Structure 1
Amino acid sequence: MSERPRLLLVHAHPDDETITTGGTIAVHVAAGAEVTVLTCTLGEEGEVIGSRWAGLVAGAGNSLGGYRISELATALAHLGVTGGPRFLGGAGRWRDSGMAGTPAALHPRSFVQARDDAVEQAMVSVLRELRPHVVVAYDPAGSYGHPDHVRVHRVTTAAVARAGDPAAFPGTGEPWSVAKVYWTVVERTALVEGLAALGELPPGWRLPADGELPSEPDERVDAVVDVRPVLAAKLAALAAHATQVTVAPGGHAFALSNDVAQPVLAEEHYVLAHGRAGELGPDGREHDLFAGVDL
């Protein structure tokens, strides 16, 4: 009898899971896979949109991270994930590092200040416990360069390599070898076409400058997930992250606190970073992240 497919998605902050992989999460949950979202910080340094939630970051009593746990829980429920949020090392173990060069990066509990062995051991423990067949994380640039995203890439890469080694971190469970690792990316043509189709934007929003939003050359994309059947769930999950994300009327676009419009795409794109590709479609790409995995 085949095993139930197991998918682990590793993200830096609440909302990252929905923005880049929300459709993929919902598609695989609906297909019967066991899906876990592992978040590495509470997103304490997120830029709050508008005045409604401004008090969450006022003074020394910053409570944004705690509030974002509830946003993440709601978003995951919309995407079909049960059991609520899961955080690397437990909620609050490591703190949002903020952008490079900011004081937040020097906080002793910031994710970028954490010791490599401590973070890798925590990740290896998760891999050995959940035994995912497929892991999704970020590319070496961390999508758009955020230090926490870059750290997620490095830690996930190292932990996947060490999780199958019996000599690594004894006492953290039985060794487990991950079959495939993907990096979440945005295909360049899909982004350009999505921006061109946006039409009228909400007041105060603007289109991104050329190259302002990260994208991957088409020829680098190895896998595509059609998320059109679950777009309503993804939009609901985006809206759940109200401190960080605004969804345009009609659901064709969203923006972060910078009011730069981003299209809600019908597909989510991936680069295969580890493992062997399975069956390819007519476009030369995988359309199933579990393709070729022995279950």
Structure 2
Amino acid sequence: MPVQPRPDHDVERALVVAAHPDDADFGAAGTIAGWAAAGIEVTILCCTHGEQGARPEADITQIPALREREQRAASATLGVTDVRFLDGHRDGWLVPSFDLQRDIVRVIRDVRPQRVLCQSPERWYERLQASHPDHLAAGEATVRACYPAAENPFAWPELGLDFWHVGELWLMAHPTPNHAVDTTEHFDRKVEALRRHASQTGHREDLETFLRRAGEGVARRFGLAERHTAEQFCVIQIN
């Protein structure tokens, strides 16, 4: 059943958590651009540096810095300048450990977002590539960080940051989405953001066509006007 999230004008800060560079842009770039345009302060947090996202002949030692630069450039096209990366968590080996949860809690308590967007911890079998194990792990750790850890004053008090209640959680790549954002106005920004991830998308001449087809498919499923694009989420209120 569709849900109506909190109006954007009532949200001051949002945190987007993803396993790898480019994950947030594939799943939510149009939505993020819309939030930034509405005056929401958006922070993007990558749990890894995406070092396994390279071709076999690549110098793996250069990939983390490259992908960090690409993510910062992509985020800038969406109006986001606060881009953060966690250290100590390996691409391809991500698990929802207490260390990962603590690191995400630290960012939540620092940013103090009313809204958190992350990857779904539930596997989407109809589109398995959206449910990479790292995505599931990042999603599970973020959900646990939002509730109950970030708002529990007895969880990691040694962080030295006041506890914080996240009111709204958005899950991308969820098997049963209940909300769609019309991204037509920001579709070009989404394409440009993903082109900034050249190490991942530079070989795709069909990138814009692929993104438009996917976006229009979501729009149709949610009853939006023809030729509109949209991104879909499962939105959960945390009371």
Q: Aligned letter for 2:45?
A: L
Residue 19 of structure 2: aligned partner: 12
- The structural deviation recorded for 1:62 is 3.0
How do 1:24-63 residues align onto structure 2 when only pairs under 5 Å count? 24-48=31-55, 55=57, 57-58=58-59, 62-63=61-62
Secondary structure of the corresponding residue to residue 44 of structure 1: coil
After superposition, the Cα gap between the structure-2 partners of 1:21 and 1:3, relative to the gap in structure 1 and judged at 3 Å, is closer
Structure 2 regions of 5+ residues with no counterpart? Answer: 1-8, 125-129, 217-228
Q: CA deviation at 1:137?
A: 1.1
Q: Which runs of 5+ in 1 are unaligned?
A: 49-53, 98-109, 187-215, 255-260, 277-295
Residue of structure 2 in register with 1:96 after alignment: 91
- Cα deviations by residue, 1:50-96 (Å, 9 ceiling, x for unpaired): xxxx65x24xx53212211111111011111014x3013xxx42120
TM-score calculated relative to the size of structure 2: 0.79
CA displacement at 1:22 relative to structure 2: 0.5
Alignment CA distance shift 1:264-1:241 (3 Å): farther
Partners of 2:72 and 2:81 within 8 A in 1: no
Partner of 2:208: 251
- Does the 8 Å contact 2:94/2:138 carry over to 1? no
The answer as to 2:81 corresponding to 1:79 is: no
Give 1:157 deviation, angstroms. 1.3
Partner of 2:172: 184
CA distance in structure 2 between the partners assigned to 1:184 and 1:250 by the alignment: 20
What does residue 146 of structure 1 align with? Answer: 132
Say whether residues 1:275 and 2:238 are aligned partners.
Answer: yes
Q: Deviation per CA, 1:17-41: give whole Å up to 9, x if none.
A: 1100100110000010011111000
Are residues 263 and 224 of structure 1, via their aligned partners in 2, closer, same or farther at CA, if it must alter by over 3 Å? closer
User: Aligned residue for 1:171?
Assistant: 158
Superposed CA offset, 1:199-258 (max 9, x none): xxxxxxxxxxxxxxxxx4xxx33221111111111111011111112454682225xxxx
What is the rounded CA distance, in whole Å, between the counterparts of 1:140 and 1:232 in structure 2?
Answer: 29
Counterpart in the other structure of 1:101: none
User: Alignment identity in percent?
Assistant: 31
> Which of structure 1's runs of 4+ aligned residues deviate more than 3 A?
246-250, 261-265
Deviation of the 1:3 alpha carbon: 7.1
- Structure with bigger helix share is 2
Q: In the alignment, which of 224, 237, 240 is matched to residue 196 of structure 2?
A: 240
Question: Conserved in 1, the CA contact under 8 Å of 2:171 and 2:233?
Answer: yes
The structural deviation recorded for 1:264 is 4.5
What TM-score, normalized to structure 1? 0.65
Higher relative CO (Cα under 8 Å, sequence separation at least 6) belongs to: 2
Q: From the CA coordinates, give the structure whose radius of gyration is larger.
A: 1
